[in-house]
């Protein structure tokens, strides 16, 4: 009988926080279109213990049920994580997302021409290619075989709206994949083999745990100030080859070219966020959107190059190949991830005739993230 059997949680083989990547579990036996409170309790605990949870065979999940699952983690939050900010044409997120008319908190992302999907007609989706964002892209002759992390990030507006607790990503249509070599191209020689069009995740808990004691003290006591309208502000800047932040070349838009700024909506957030279930600490920073650091002694670091260098040094060990989970998408996969405990990145490049359809949902949270001392 539906609702009586509880789902079971199966950690991924490499998921151990101490010895492995520190995230990932598959949940089996959940009826996501008819979720009881007891079933949700299992999913809730699994999410906050494993950060990324995977449900296979969810092809029949409706956009409404996807929204409801996402909403259940914070029932007073009902609007999409970026609110209306995607309407701003200069936002770097604008071309990547199409809104489902009958469920506006759910966005369609992917690649290729889609004649009809959930009330959207004749849409053209474009999987972001790192060439449009990285300063030094992979040479064109290697493009089929070699890829990059496009942009490591948290799903969050980082201006006015609180970062969503969770994101759900549903694979509706997945082209038959080849594999690619992902290169960091940051002088380390790091590389990893990944499935075509993978989504890469790195645990903020792992990222924190592998810091030195001195660094841990620094991140626990430092706050990050994000740029106002960050996705417009950064729209002309170019990314580092490892996708973990931006080059500092003075290309960010000046305040005079941004939409109107309300000072009260600028976000200054802890660098470390506490897990609401386990109490563990995650280093959680959106490296492209940072503008200033507020140190515990009151000093404000506002030299952008310096701010970015500090943040990159702290985050880079946590995205080493041995700590990255690269999900191998199959049609019907629903991935639910703890957006306040991981950073993630789009990876790979599709040909124009490779059609991929995903549905994404996250909701601006009703409360800000909890810092380390709360």
- Whether 24 and 50 have beta carbons less than 8 Å apart is answered as yes
Task: Decide if residue 362 touches Fe ion (CB under 5 A).
Answer: no
Task: Decide if residue 342 touches Fe ion (CB under 5 A).
Answer: no
CA angle, corner 126, sides to 24 and 245, nearest 5?
60
- Whether 168 and 62 have beta carbons less than 8 Å apart is answered as no
Q: Which stretch binds Fe ion (CB under 5 A): 17-25, 152-160, 194-202, 279-287?
A: 152-160
Per-residue binding string, Fe ion, 271-310, x by CB under 5 A, is ----------------------------------------
- Nearest approach in angstroms of CB 344 to Fe ion is 6
Q: Which stretch binds Fe ion (CB under 5 A): 85-93, 153-161, 266-274, 290-298?
A: 153-161
- Whether 73 and 338 have beta carbons less than 8 Å apart is answered as no
Q: Which stretch binds Fe ion (CB under 5 A): 70-78, 99-107, 155-163, 246-254?
A: 155-163
Report the residue number, 225 or 362, with the smaller CB distance to Fe ion: 362
Task: Decide if residue 242 touches Fe ion (CB under 5 A).
Answer: no
Specify which residues 164 forms β-bridges with.
none
- Nearest approach in angstroms of CB 226 to Fe ion is 16
Give the residue ranges of DSSP H helices in the chain. 37-50, 63-71, 204-209, 213-221, 230-233, 304-315
Task: Decide if residue 341 touches Fe ion (CB under 5 A).
Answer: no
Closest to 283 (Cα-Cα) out of 227, 229, 212, 232: 212
- Nearest approach in angstroms of CB 327 to Fe ion is 13
- Nearest approach in angstroms of CB 28 to Fe ion is 25
- Nearest approach in angstroms of CB 212 to Fe ion is 29
Task: Decide if residue 26 touches Fe ion (CB under 5 A).
Answer: no
Q: Give kind and range of the element (H or E) at residue 69.
A: helix 63-71
The 3-state secondary structure of 12-52 reads CCCCCCCCCCCCCEEEECCCCCCCCHHHHHHHHHHHHHHCE
- How many residues bind Fe ion (CB under 5 A)? The answer is 1
Task: Decide if residue 118 touches Fe ion (CB under 5 A).
Answer: no
Q: Which stretch binds Fe ion (CB under 5 A): 12-20, 148-156, 226-234, 258-266?
A: 148-156
Give the residue ranges of DSSP H helices in 159-264. 204-209, 213-221, 230-233
User: Would you call 9 helix, strand, or coil by DSSP?
Assistant: strand
Task: Decide if residue 155 touches Fe ion (CB under 5 A).
Answer: yes
Nearest to Fe ion by Cβ — which residue? 155
- Nearest approach in angstroms of CB 345 to Fe ion is 8
Specify which residues 114 forms β-bridges with.
123
Q: Which residues of this protein are in contact with Fe ion, per CB under 5 A?
A: 155
């Amino acid at each position: 009988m539906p609702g009586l059997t509880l789902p079971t949680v199966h950690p991924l083989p490499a998921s151990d926080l101490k010895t492995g990547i520190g995230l990932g579990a598959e949940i089996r036996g959940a009826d996501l279109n008819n979720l009881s409170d007891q079933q949700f309790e299992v999913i809730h605990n699994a999410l906050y213990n494993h950060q990324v949870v995977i449900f296979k065979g969810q092809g029949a999940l409706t956009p409404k049920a996807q929204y409801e699952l996402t909403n259940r983690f914070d029932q007073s939050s009902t609007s999409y994580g970026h609110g209306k900010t995607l309407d701003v044409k200069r936002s770097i997120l604008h071309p990547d997302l199409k809104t489902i008319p009958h469920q506006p908190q759910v966005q369609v992302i992917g690649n290729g021409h889609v004649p009809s999907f959930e009330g959207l007609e004749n849409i053209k989706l474009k999987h972001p290619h790192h060439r449009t964002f990285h300063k030094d892209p992979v040479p064109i002759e290697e493009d089929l075989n070699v890829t990059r992390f496009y942009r490591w990030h948290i799903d969050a507006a980082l201006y006015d709206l609180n970062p969503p607790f969770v994101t759900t990503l549903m694979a509706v249509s997945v082209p038959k994949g080849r594999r690619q070599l992902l290169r960091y191209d940051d002088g380390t020689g790091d590389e990893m083999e990944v499935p075509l069009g993978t989504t890469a995740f790195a645990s903020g808990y792992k990222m924190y745990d592998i810091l030195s004691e001195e660094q841990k003290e620094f991140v626990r006591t430092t706050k990050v100030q994000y740029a106002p309208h960050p996705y417009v502000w950064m729209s002309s800047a170019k990314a580092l080859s490892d996708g973990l932040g931006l080059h500092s070349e003075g290309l960010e838009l000046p305040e005079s070219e941004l939409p109107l700024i309300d000072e009260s909506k600028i976000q200054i957030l802890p660098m470390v966020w506490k897990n609401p279930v386990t109490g563990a600490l995650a280093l959680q920073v959106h490296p492209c959107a940072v503008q200033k650091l507020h140190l515990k002694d009151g000093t404000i670091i506002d030299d952008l190059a310096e701010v970015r260098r500090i943040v990159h040094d702290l985050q880079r060990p946590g995205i080493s190949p041995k700590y990255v989970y690269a999900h191998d998408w199959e049609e019907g996969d629903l991935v639910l991830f703890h957006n306040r405990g991981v950073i993630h990145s789009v990876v790979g490049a599709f040909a124009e005739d490779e059609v991929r359809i995903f549905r994404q949902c996250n909701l601006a949270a009703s409360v800000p993230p909890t810092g380390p001392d709360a």
